[in-house]
Amino acid sequence: MTAELLYGAYILVWPAITLVVLGVICRAVARDVRKARNSDEDLV
């Protein structure tokens, strides 16, 4: 029963972890876009 609870918790927590990582990546890209736009430079 403990293994089932751990597996269930893993399945429920995984989307939240993924969402946090995606948010961090998007925030960093948005910051880089703003910085490039303000300094009149290309992003790439």
DSSP state string for 10-42: HHHHHHHHHHHHHHHHHHHHHHHHHHHHHTT--
Q: What is the pLDDT of residue 43?
A: 82
Q: Which of 42, 18, 17 is nearest to 32 (CA)?
A: 42
pLDDT tens for each residue of 1-44:
799 999 988 899 999 999 999 999 999 999 999 999 999 998 88
Q: What is the pLDDT of residue 23?
A: 98
Q: What is the pLDDT of residue 15?
A: 92
Within 10 A of 1 (CB to CB), how many other CB atoms are there? 5
In whole angstroms, what separates CA 41 from the centre of its chain?
25
